[in-house]
Amino acid sequence: MTWEALDRDDPLAWLRGEFHLSPGVIYLDGNSLGLLSKPAERALLEALETWKRRGIDGWLGGGHPWFHFAEELGARIAPLLGAEADEVLIAGSTSINLHQMLATLFRPEPGRDKILIEEDAFPTDAHVAKSHLKLRGLDPGRNLVVVPSAGGTAIDEAAIIAAMRDDVAFAILPTALYRSGQLLDVARLAALAREKGVTLCLDACHSAGAVAHRFHDQGVDCAVFCTYKYLNAGPGAVAGLYVHRKHHGTAPGLAGWFSSAKDRQFDMKNELDPADTAGAYQIGTPHILSMAPLLGTLELIERAGMASLRARSLKLTGLLMDLAERDLAPQGFTLATPREEHRRGGHVALRHAEAARLCKALKQQDVIPDFRPPDIVRLSPSPLYTSFAEVVGAVAILKRIAQEKTYLQFPNLRDTVA
Protein backbone atom coordinates (compact mmCIF):
# COMPACT_ATOMS: atom_id res chain seq x y z
CA MET A 1 0.00 0.00 0.00
CA THR A 2 1.26 3.50 -0.76
CA TRP A 3 1.48 6.04 2.02
CA GLU A 4 -1.15 8.20 0.30
CA ALA A 5 -3.56 5.29 0.57
CA LEU A 6 -2.58 4.73 4.20
CA ASP A 7 -3.52 8.32 5.07
CA ARG A 8 -6.68 8.24 2.95
CA ASP A 9 -8.00 4.98 4.41
CA ASP A 10 -6.87 5.66 7.96
CA PRO A 11 -9.74 4.99 10.39
CA LEU A 12 -7.86 6.88 13.12
CA ALA A 13 -7.19 10.03 11.07
CA TRP A 14 -9.71 11.92 13.26
CA LEU A 15 -7.30 11.75 16.21
CA ARG A 16 -4.91 14.24 14.66
CA GLY A 17 -7.55 16.96 14.93
CA GLU A 18 -7.68 16.39 18.68
CA PHE A 19 -4.11 17.65 19.18
CA HIS A 20 -2.42 21.00 19.29
CA LEU A 21 0.07 20.68 16.45
CA SER A 22 2.40 23.41 15.20
CA PRO A 23 1.80 23.93 11.49
CA GLY A 24 4.73 22.76 9.38
CA VAL A 25 6.44 20.94 12.24
CA ILE A 26 6.88 17.17 12.08
CA TYR A 27 6.98 16.13 15.73
CA LEU A 28 8.67 12.76 16.20
CA ASP A 29 9.56 13.01 19.88
CA GLY A 30 6.38 11.72 21.50
CA ASN A 31 8.46 9.02 23.20
CA SER A 32 10.14 11.74 25.27
CA LEU A 33 7.28 14.20 25.64
CA GLY A 34 3.92 13.57 24.03
CA LEU A 35 2.03 16.61 22.69
CA LEU A 36 -0.95 18.30 24.28
CA SER A 37 -4.36 17.08 23.20
CA LYS A 38 -7.53 19.15 23.38
CA PRO A 39 -9.21 16.71 25.82
CA ALA A 40 -6.11 16.86 28.07
CA GLU A 41 -6.19 20.65 28.02
CA ARG A 42 -9.90 20.55 28.84
CA ALA A 43 -9.35 18.13 31.73
CA LEU A 44 -6.69 20.41 33.23
CA LEU A 45 -8.92 23.48 32.87
CA GLU A 46 -11.76 21.57 34.52
CA ALA A 47 -9.51 20.70 37.46
CA LEU A 48 -8.65 24.39 37.81
CA GLU A 49 -12.34 25.25 37.62
CA THR A 50 -13.09 22.80 40.42
CA TRP A 51 -10.38 24.39 42.54
CA LYS A 52 -11.70 27.86 41.67
CA ARG A 53 -15.33 27.04 42.45
CA ARG A 54 -15.11 24.49 45.22
CA GLY A 55 -11.82 25.06 47.04
CA ILE A 56 -11.29 22.33 49.62
CA ASP A 57 -14.51 20.60 48.58
CA GLY A 58 -12.81 19.45 45.38
CA TRP A 59 -11.34 16.61 47.42
CA LEU A 60 -14.71 14.92 47.74
CA GLY A 61 -16.87 16.75 45.19
CA GLY A 62 -16.93 17.59 41.50
CA GLY A 63 -16.74 15.20 38.56
CA HIS A 64 -13.47 13.58 39.63
CA PRO A 65 -13.04 13.92 43.41
CA TRP A 66 -9.34 14.45 44.09
CA PHE A 67 -9.29 12.08 47.06
CA HIS A 68 -9.95 9.15 44.71
CA PHE A 69 -8.28 10.53 41.58
CA ALA A 70 -5.09 8.42 41.78
CA GLU A 71 -7.18 5.24 42.01
CA GLU A 72 -9.68 6.41 39.36
CA LEU A 73 -6.92 7.07 36.82
CA GLY A 74 -5.16 3.84 37.77
CA ALA A 75 -8.31 1.83 37.11
CA ARG A 76 -8.66 3.47 33.70
CA ILE A 77 -5.06 2.77 32.72
CA ALA A 78 -5.22 -0.81 34.01
CA PRO A 79 -6.61 -2.28 30.75
CA LEU A 80 -3.58 -0.91 28.84
CA LEU A 81 -1.33 -2.88 31.15
CA GLY A 82 -3.50 -5.98 31.27
CA ALA A 83 -4.01 -5.37 34.97
CA GLU A 84 -6.91 -5.48 37.38
CA ALA A 85 -8.36 -2.08 38.31
CA ASP A 86 -6.95 -2.17 41.86
CA GLU A 87 -3.45 -3.12 40.72
CA VAL A 88 -2.64 0.25 39.14
CA LEU A 89 -2.21 3.66 40.68
CA ILE A 90 -1.10 7.07 39.46
CA ALA A 91 1.43 8.53 41.89
CA GLY A 92 4.88 10.00 42.25
CA SER A 93 7.46 9.71 39.52
CA THR A 94 8.90 6.65 37.82
CA SER A 95 12.06 6.99 39.90
CA ILE A 96 10.19 7.34 43.20
CA ASN A 97 7.86 4.47 42.33
CA LEU A 98 10.83 2.27 41.60
CA HIS A 99 12.23 3.23 45.02
CA GLN A 100 8.89 2.21 46.49
CA MET A 101 8.89 -1.15 44.70
CA LEU A 102 12.38 -1.94 45.97
CA ALA A 103 11.65 -0.67 49.48
CA THR A 104 8.57 -2.91 49.55
CA LEU A 105 9.48 -6.04 47.61
CA PHE A 106 13.30 -6.33 47.66
CA ARG A 107 14.02 -8.63 50.57
CA PRO A 108 17.64 -9.66 50.45
CA GLU A 109 18.63 -12.77 52.38
CA PRO A 110 21.99 -14.47 52.75
CA GLY A 111 22.65 -16.25 49.45
CA ARG A 112 19.92 -14.31 47.66
CA ASP A 113 20.88 -10.68 47.91
CA LYS A 114 21.42 -9.40 44.38
CA ILE A 115 19.57 -7.04 42.06
CA LEU A 116 19.68 -7.70 38.34
CA ILE A 117 19.58 -4.89 35.79
CA GLU A 118 20.72 -4.64 32.19
CA GLU A 119 23.79 -2.80 31.01
CA ASP A 120 21.87 -0.28 28.93
CA ALA A 121 19.27 0.39 31.63
CA PHE A 122 17.86 3.90 31.83
CA PRO A 123 20.24 5.66 34.28
CA THR A 124 17.61 6.19 36.95
CA ASP A 125 17.03 2.41 37.20
CA ALA A 126 20.71 1.85 37.91
CA HIS A 127 20.90 4.72 40.41
CA VAL A 128 17.82 3.49 42.27
CA ALA A 129 19.05 -0.11 42.37
CA LYS A 130 22.47 0.89 43.70
CA SER A 131 21.03 3.18 46.34
CA HIS A 132 18.89 0.31 47.70
CA LEU A 133 21.86 -1.98 47.87
CA LYS A 134 23.74 0.67 49.85
CA LEU A 135 20.75 1.31 52.13
CA ARG A 136 20.70 -2.40 53.02
CA GLY A 137 24.42 -2.43 53.72
CA LEU A 138 25.17 -4.31 50.49
CA ASP A 139 27.83 -3.53 47.92
CA PRO A 140 26.81 -2.39 44.39
CA GLY A 141 30.14 -3.73 43.15
CA ARG A 142 29.20 -7.22 44.32
CA ASN A 143 25.43 -7.27 44.60
CA LEU A 144 24.45 -5.73 41.28
CA VAL A 145 24.23 -8.22 38.42
CA VAL A 146 24.48 -6.39 35.10
CA VAL A 147 23.31 -8.21 31.97
CA PRO A 148 25.51 -7.14 29.05
CA SER A 149 23.87 -5.46 26.09
CA ALA A 150 24.95 -5.81 22.49
CA GLY A 151 26.34 -2.45 21.43
CA GLY A 152 24.18 -0.59 23.92
CA THR A 153 21.01 -1.20 21.94
CA ALA A 154 20.01 -4.86 22.10
CA ILE A 155 19.46 -7.35 24.88
CA ASP A 156 19.27 -11.07 24.30
CA GLU A 157 16.65 -12.64 26.58
CA ALA A 158 18.91 -15.67 26.81
CA ALA A 159 21.57 -13.48 28.48
CA ILE A 160 19.01 -12.31 31.04
CA ILE A 161 17.97 -15.87 31.67
CA ALA A 162 21.57 -16.95 32.13
CA ALA A 163 22.12 -14.12 34.62
CA MET A 164 19.01 -14.91 36.70
CA ARG A 165 20.78 -17.21 39.05
CA ASP A 166 19.79 -18.33 42.53
CA ASP A 167 21.47 -15.39 44.22
CA VAL A 168 19.25 -12.84 42.42
CA ALA A 169 16.40 -11.56 44.58
CA PHE A 170 15.03 -8.75 42.41
CA ALA A 171 15.22 -7.89 38.70
CA ILE A 172 14.54 -4.52 37.09
CA LEU A 173 14.02 -4.83 33.35
CA PRO A 174 12.61 -2.52 30.70
CA THR A 175 9.59 -3.56 28.64
CA ALA A 176 11.16 -1.65 25.75
CA LEU A 177 14.78 -0.50 25.60
CA TYR A 178 14.84 3.29 25.55
CA ARG A 179 17.56 3.55 22.94
CA SER A 180 16.58 0.97 20.35
CA GLY A 181 12.91 0.44 21.16
CA GLN A 182 13.51 -3.33 21.33
CA LEU A 183 10.60 -5.00 23.15
CA LEU A 184 11.56 -7.71 25.58
CA ASP A 185 9.61 -10.96 25.78
CA VAL A 186 7.81 -10.20 29.03
CA ALA A 187 5.88 -13.49 29.12
CA ARG A 188 9.08 -15.51 28.94
CA LEU A 189 10.95 -13.38 31.46
CA ALA A 190 8.05 -13.31 33.91
CA ALA A 191 7.67 -17.09 33.74
CA LEU A 192 11.36 -17.57 34.37
CA ALA A 193 11.40 -15.06 37.24
CA ARG A 194 8.50 -16.89 38.87
CA GLU A 195 10.23 -20.23 38.49
CA LYS A 196 13.42 -18.81 40.00
CA GLY A 197 11.70 -16.94 42.81
CA VAL A 198 12.97 -13.59 41.52
CA THR A 199 10.74 -10.55 42.02
CA LEU A 200 10.35 -8.94 38.59
CA CYS A 201 9.83 -5.19 38.30
CA LEU A 202 9.34 -3.78 34.81
CA ASP A 203 10.17 -0.25 33.78
CA ALA A 204 7.40 0.32 31.25
CA CYS A 205 8.13 3.99 30.49
CA HIS A 206 8.77 3.21 26.85
CA SER A 207 5.72 1.06 26.29
CA ALA A 208 2.89 2.35 28.49
CA GLY A 209 0.36 3.74 26.04
CA ALA A 210 2.28 2.38 23.03
CA VAL A 211 1.96 -1.38 23.47
CA ALA A 212 -0.80 -3.35 25.17
CA HIS A 213 0.53 -5.47 28.05
CA ARG A 214 -0.76 -8.50 29.95
CA PHE A 215 1.03 -8.02 33.26
CA HIS A 216 -1.52 -9.69 35.53
CA ASP A 217 -1.93 -12.90 33.56
CA GLN A 218 1.80 -13.13 32.98
CA GLY A 219 2.38 -12.87 36.72
CA VAL A 220 4.59 -9.77 36.52
CA ASP A 221 5.20 -8.75 40.15
CA CYS A 222 5.30 -5.01 39.69
CA ALA A 223 5.96 -2.25 37.19
CA VAL A 224 6.52 1.48 37.01
CA PHE A 225 5.78 3.82 34.12
CA CYS A 226 5.69 7.50 33.25
CA THR A 227 2.75 9.33 31.71
CA TYR A 228 4.50 12.15 29.86
CA LYS A 229 5.72 10.01 26.97
CA TYR A 230 3.16 7.91 25.07
CA LEU A 231 0.44 8.89 27.54
CA ASN A 232 0.71 12.60 26.69
CA ALA A 233 -0.08 13.88 30.19
CA GLY A 234 2.41 16.76 30.11
CA PRO A 235 5.94 17.62 31.27
CA GLY A 236 6.67 16.00 34.63
CA ALA A 237 3.18 14.48 34.78
CA VAL A 238 2.54 12.12 37.67
CA ALA A 239 3.74 8.57 36.97
CA GLY A 240 2.17 5.19 37.59
CA LEU A 241 2.79 1.92 39.33
CA TYR A 242 1.37 -1.57 39.00
CA VAL A 243 1.53 -4.16 41.77
CA HIS A 244 0.17 -7.67 41.22
CA ARG A 245 -2.63 -8.67 43.60
CA LYS A 246 -0.50 -11.43 45.06
CA HIS A 247 1.55 -8.70 46.75
CA HIS A 248 -1.37 -6.61 47.98
CA GLY A 249 -1.35 -6.45 51.73
CA THR A 250 2.46 -6.19 51.80
CA ALA A 251 3.24 -3.16 53.95
CA PRO A 252 4.68 -0.29 51.90
CA GLY A 253 8.42 0.12 52.39
CA LEU A 254 8.01 3.88 52.04
CA ALA A 255 4.83 4.73 53.89
CA GLY A 256 2.88 7.94 54.19
CA TRP A 257 -0.65 8.85 55.16
CA PHE A 258 -1.90 8.34 51.60
CA SER A 259 -0.83 4.67 51.92
CA SER A 260 -3.83 4.31 54.25
CA ALA A 261 -7.01 2.43 53.58
CA LYS A 262 -9.14 5.23 52.19
CA ASP A 263 -12.01 4.84 54.63
CA ARG A 264 -9.67 5.13 57.62
CA GLN A 265 -7.21 7.77 56.44
CA PHE A 266 -9.10 10.58 58.11
CA ASP A 267 -9.21 8.82 61.47
CA MET A 268 -5.80 10.54 61.67
CA LYS A 269 -4.21 7.71 63.66
CA ASN A 270 -0.47 7.35 63.87
CA GLU A 271 -0.66 3.62 63.29
CA LEU A 272 -0.89 2.96 59.56
CA ASP A 273 -3.67 0.75 58.28
CA PRO A 274 -2.54 0.35 54.67
CA ALA A 275 -4.92 -0.01 51.72
CA ASP A 276 -5.23 -3.59 50.48
CA THR A 277 -4.77 -2.42 46.87
CA ALA A 278 -1.96 -0.82 44.88
CA GLY A 279 -3.12 2.35 46.64
CA ALA A 280 -0.94 1.34 49.60
CA TYR A 281 2.15 2.28 47.59
CA GLN A 282 1.40 5.97 47.27
CA ILE A 283 2.92 8.21 49.88
CA GLY A 284 1.55 11.73 50.13
CA THR A 285 -1.05 14.07 48.71
CA PRO A 286 -1.48 13.51 44.96
CA HIS A 287 -0.40 16.21 42.49
CA ILE A 288 -3.84 16.77 41.05
CA LEU A 289 -2.94 19.38 38.44
CA SER A 290 -0.19 17.16 37.05
CA MET A 291 -2.57 14.22 36.83
CA ALA A 292 -5.62 15.86 35.28
CA PRO A 293 -4.38 15.92 31.65
CA LEU A 294 -4.06 12.14 31.72
CA LEU A 295 -7.85 11.93 31.81
CA GLY A 296 -7.96 13.57 28.40
CA THR A 297 -5.47 11.17 26.85
CA LEU A 298 -7.34 8.21 28.27
CA GLU A 299 -10.53 9.46 26.66
CA LEU A 300 -8.78 9.43 23.29
CA ILE A 301 -7.13 6.05 23.81
CA GLU A 302 -10.41 4.51 24.94
CA ARG A 303 -12.24 5.92 21.91
CA ALA A 304 -9.59 4.71 19.47
CA GLY A 305 -8.88 1.39 21.18
CA MET A 306 -5.40 0.30 22.23
CA ALA A 307 -5.28 -2.52 19.66
CA SER A 308 -6.06 -0.11 16.80
CA LEU A 309 -3.47 2.35 18.08
CA ARG A 310 -0.81 -0.34 18.26
CA ALA A 311 -1.71 -1.48 14.73
CA ARG A 312 -1.39 2.08 13.49
CA SER A 313 1.91 2.55 15.34
CA LEU A 314 3.30 -0.59 13.70
CA LYS A 315 2.29 0.70 10.27
CA LEU A 316 3.97 4.04 10.96
CA THR A 317 7.20 2.53 12.25
CA GLY A 318 7.09 -0.12 9.50
CA LEU A 319 6.89 2.58 6.83
CA LEU A 320 9.66 4.50 8.54
CA MET A 321 11.91 1.42 8.60
CA ASP A 322 11.18 0.55 4.96
CA LEU A 323 12.08 4.07 3.89
CA ALA A 324 15.15 4.12 6.12
CA GLU A 325 16.46 0.93 4.56
CA ARG A 326 15.84 2.23 1.05
CA ASP A 327 16.83 5.89 1.36
CA LEU A 328 18.97 6.28 4.47
CA ALA A 329 21.11 3.13 4.51
CA PRO A 330 23.09 4.42 1.50
CA GLN A 331 23.82 7.56 3.60
CA GLY A 332 25.45 5.58 6.39
CA PHE A 333 22.45 4.92 8.63
CA THR A 334 21.77 1.53 10.16
CA LEU A 335 18.62 0.39 11.94
CA ALA A 336 19.09 -0.30 15.65
CA THR A 337 15.45 -1.33 16.11
CA PRO A 338 14.36 -4.91 15.45
CA ARG A 339 12.24 -5.33 12.32
CA GLU A 340 9.90 -7.97 13.74
CA GLU A 341 6.65 -6.41 14.95
CA HIS A 342 6.54 -8.29 18.25
CA ARG A 343 10.06 -7.12 19.04
CA ARG A 344 9.67 -3.38 18.59
CA GLY A 345 7.89 -0.67 20.58
CA GLY A 346 6.77 2.74 19.37
CA HIS A 347 9.95 4.32 18.07
CA VAL A 348 12.66 3.68 15.53
CA ALA A 349 16.35 4.17 16.28
CA LEU A 350 18.80 4.96 13.53
CA ARG A 351 22.52 4.74 14.12
CA HIS A 352 24.84 7.19 12.45
CA ALA A 353 28.28 8.45 13.49
CA GLU A 354 27.00 12.03 13.07
CA ALA A 355 23.75 11.44 14.97
CA ALA A 356 24.14 14.49 17.23
CA ARG A 357 24.65 16.96 14.40
CA LEU A 358 22.01 15.28 12.23
CA CYS A 359 19.47 15.84 15.01
CA LYS A 360 20.37 19.53 15.18
CA ALA A 361 19.98 19.83 11.41
CA LEU A 362 16.61 18.04 11.54
CA LYS A 363 15.35 20.47 14.17
CA GLN A 364 16.44 23.39 12.03
CA GLN A 365 14.19 21.92 9.32
CA ASP A 366 11.24 21.61 11.74
CA VAL A 367 11.53 17.87 12.18
CA ILE A 368 11.76 17.07 15.89
CA PRO A 369 13.76 13.92 16.69
CA ASP A 370 15.83 13.14 19.71
CA PHE A 371 19.42 12.19 20.14
CA ARG A 372 20.74 9.52 22.47
CA PRO A 373 24.49 9.35 22.80
CA PRO A 374 26.66 8.28 21.30
CA ASP A 375 25.15 7.68 17.86
CA ILE A 376 21.37 7.23 17.96
CA VAL A 377 18.71 9.31 16.22
CA ARG A 378 15.35 8.34 17.71
CA LEU A 379 12.22 8.96 15.66
CA SER A 380 8.83 8.26 17.17
CA PRO A 381 5.79 8.68 14.95
CA SER A 382 2.84 8.84 17.32
CA PRO A 383 -0.18 6.70 16.49
CA LEU A 384 -2.26 9.51 17.96
CA TYR A 385 -1.17 12.37 15.73
CA THR A 386 1.54 11.59 13.17
CA SER A 387 0.42 11.15 9.56
CA PHE A 388 2.01 8.75 7.10
CA ALA A 389 2.81 11.76 4.90
CA GLU A 390 4.84 13.21 7.77
CA VAL A 391 6.91 10.04 8.06
CA VAL A 392 7.67 10.23 4.34
CA GLY A 393 8.50 13.92 4.66
CA ALA A 394 10.81 13.41 7.64
CA VAL A 395 12.81 10.68 5.90
CA ALA A 396 13.15 12.82 2.77
CA ILE A 397 14.46 15.73 4.86
CA LEU A 398 16.90 13.51 6.75
CA LYS A 399 18.14 12.03 3.48
CA ARG A 400 18.76 15.48 2.04
CA ILE A 401 20.58 16.66 5.18
CA ALA A 402 22.83 13.58 5.06
CA GLN A 403 23.44 13.84 1.31
CA GLU A 404 24.18 17.55 1.30
CA LYS A 405 26.02 17.34 4.64
CA THR A 406 24.30 20.48 5.90
CA TYR A 407 24.80 19.10 9.43
CA LEU A 408 28.47 20.13 9.16
CA GLN A 409 27.45 23.72 9.98
CA PHE A 410 26.90 22.63 13.60
CA PRO A 411 29.89 22.30 15.92
CA ASN A 412 31.03 18.77 16.51
CA LEU A 413 30.63 18.41 20.27
CA ARG A 414 33.09 15.55 20.40
CA ASP A 415 35.82 17.95 19.22
CA THR A 416 34.96 20.68 21.70
CA VAL A 417 34.46 18.38 24.70
CA ALA A 418 37.61 16.33 24.11
Ligand X SMILES: *Cc1c(COP(=O)(O)O)cnc(C)c1O
Count, residues near ligand X per rule CB under 6 A: 12
Query: Cα separation of 371 and 375, whole Å?
Result: 8
Does residue number 122 form part of the binding site for ligand X (CB under 6 A)?
Answer: yes
* Degrees to nearest 5, angle at CA 139 with 133 and 143: 75
Q: What residues between 222 and 281 interact with ligand X by CB under 6 A?
A: 226, 239
DSSP 141-157: HHHEEEE--BTTTB--H
Does residue number 337 form part of the binding site for ligand X (CB under 6 A)?
Answer: no
- Note if 229 is an active site residue: yes
For ligand X, the closer of residues 30 and 174 by Cβ is 174
- Note if 228 is an active site residue: yes
DSSP 316-339: HHHHHHHHIIIIIGGGT-EE-S-S
- Note if 415 is an active site residue: no
- Note if 38 is an active site residue: no
- Note if 67 is an active site residue: no
Which of 292, 414, 399 is closest to 350 using CA atoms?
A: 399
Amino acid, res. 399: K
Q: 242: which strand partners?
A: 88, 223
Does residue number 114 form part of the binding site for ligand X (CB under 6 A)?
Answer: no
Does residue number 205 form part of the binding site for ligand X (CB under 6 A)?
Answer: yes
Q: How far is the CB of 239 from ligand X (least distance, A)?
A: 6
Does residue number 203 form part of the binding site for ligand X (CB under 6 A)?
Answer: yes
Q: 348: which strand partners?
A: 379
Query: Cα separation of 99 and 83, whole Å?
Result: 21
Q: How far is the CB of 213 from ligand X (least distance, A)?
A: 15
Cβ neighbours, 10 Å, residue 215: 27
- Annotated catalytic residue, options 67, 122, 258, 388: 122
Query: Cα separation of 123 and 371, whole Å?
Result: 16
Q: Exactly one of 30, 74, 174, 274 binds ligand X (CB under 6 A); which one?
A: 174
Does residue number 211 form part of the binding site for ligand X (CB under 6 A)?
Answer: no
Does residue number 206 form part of the binding site for ligand X (CB under 6 A)?
Answer: yes
Q: Exactly one of 37, 50, 95, 260 binds ligand X (CB under 6 A); which one?
A: 95
Does residue number 124 form part of the binding site for ligand X (CB under 6 A)?
Answer: yes
170 in Cβ contact with 103 (< 8 Å)? no
Q: Which residues bind ligand X (CB under 6 A)?
A: 93-95, 122, 124, 174, 178, 203, 205-206, 226, 239
Q: Cite the active site residues.
A: 122, 203, 228-229, 378
